[in-house]
Amino acid sequence: MKHILLASTAVMLATASFAEDADLLVFDYSGFEFPAFHSKYVEQHGQSPRFAFFGDEEEAFQKIRSGFRADVSHVCAGSVNKWTASGILEPWDTAKIPEFANLDANLTGQNVAGEDTYFIPVDFGSTAIAYNTDEVPADDVASLNVFLNPKYAGRMTIPDNVDDAYALAYLATGTTDWTTATDEQFAAASDWLRQAHANLRTYWVDPGELAQLMATGEVLVSWAWNETYPTLADEGFPVGFQREAAEGSSLWLCGYVNLKDGEGVEDKAYDYLNAFLDPSSTQALMDDGYGHANAAAMADQMTQDDLIAAGLGPIDAPVLAQLPMDDARREQQSAEFEKIKAGF
């Protein structure tokens, strides 16, 4: 998942200093309560909604299945099929979402179930190779197989995140669409991850940890989210972000789902989603390293130089989009990833 996590993954209620609207509870990653991301909601209602936080989407899913009630939740595309199949969601009415027609068609994909729309993308980013340009020649990161290179054994890291890990492994083994991955392609990706595991120093959990690992020189090469690049560059660190490795890079996307048993005001769920999708949120999201799913607003407000500086510019290489996949395959990947991390 692509958001800054707290050290503890325990669910907790927000304690922000700004006033909260008791009519809406948003279940989210820490950091997304920032009022600039939903300024139109604040203008409309005089305050932000209430927020409850989770550390990862599996934690959120289990909490909701256990009876925790919220109105809207932030999830990434890889989780959507599982959440939909569980019966905890209700579809969005796209007629109530004015910016829906302006969303990036590459992010919306296909509906999860028939004509219903359960997932509305709001933010996206890229995952690619971040590396220390003083110590790692560009030729060494021209391929994702740098993670198999014994030259950097013990000086590399990838995210402790099954979606990002398998996006890397699928790309490295020639699969650019994980929604159609065969058993053979899954096995090849898993074997590749096992080989890479032997070279890793650690699996990083949040961008702050990764930035520290790279800044101290403990890590020279990482599979990283795009926000790492401008963060380290702004601090004067010699960092490169290789999105045009021969095998490509990955695109992740996250958004909001409408929880079925929420106790809040349904109209305010739409007010919140619409505020997040409004062009007024674009700059604030970009400032924090997130692309905005509102393609029209991005085109209007961001130059190509802005996108390149954020690690989101156009590239001439394959891209694996982390779209919803078959739930059985994702569960298979999760189980295998845990074995790989444990050395099995």
End-to-end alpha carbon distance in the chain: 24
The per-residue pLDDT string of the chain (344 residues; one tens digit each, 9 = 90 and over) reads 455 333 333 333 333 445 689 999 999 988 899 999 999 999 999 999 999 998 888 899 999 999 999 999 999 988 888 999 999 999 999 999 999 999 987 776 544 444 789 999 999 999 999 999 999 999 999 999 999 999 999 999 999 989 999 999 999 999 999 999 999 999 999 999 999 999 999 999 888 899 999 999 999 999 999 989 998 999 999 999 999 999 999 999 999 999 998 999 999 999 999 999 999 999 999 998 899 999 999 999 999 999 998 999 989 999 999 988 888 998 999 999 999 999 99
Q: What is the model's pLDDT at position 323?
A: 86
What domains can you pick out in the chain, each with its CATH number? 12-124+252-309 (3.40.190.10), 125-251+315-341 (3.40.190.10)
Rounded to whole angstroms, the Cα distance separating 312 from 292 reads 11
Q: How far is CA 39 from CA 244, 275, 280, in A?
A: 36, 7, 7
Question: Which 3 state secondary structure label does DSSP give 258?
Answer: strand
CA angle 294, 296, 298 (to 5 degrees): 70
Contacts of 281 (CB under 8 A, 6+ apart): 36, 37, 38, 39, 40, 275, 292, 294, 297
Residues 6+ apart with CB under 8 A from 294: 99, 102, 103, 104, 277, 278, 279, 281, 282
Write out pLDDT tens, residues 53-63.
988 888 999 99
User: 107-130: buried (b, 16+ CB within 10 Å) or exposed (e) per residue?
Assistant: bbbeebeeeebbbbbbbbbbbbbb
129 Cβ partners below 8 Å, 6+ apart?
A: 141, 144, 146, 221, 222, 223, 224, 240, 241, 242, 243, 245, 249
CB neighbour list of residue 216: distance below 8 Å, 6 or more residues apart: none
pLDDT for residue 20: 85
For the whole model, what pTM was predicted?
A: 0.84
Whether residue 244 contacts residue 139, with contact meaning beta carbons closer than 8 Å, is answered with no
Residues in the chain, how many?
Answer: 344
Alpha-carbon span 168 to 247, nearest angstrom: 9
**Helical axes 183-197 vs 162-172, angle rounded to 10°:** 100
Q: Characterize the bridge pairing of strands 200-204 and 156-159.
A: parallel
| Two tokens, residue 247 | 């095998």
**Which residues does 28 contact at the CB level (< 8 Å), separation at least 6?**
51, 52, 53, 54, 73, 74
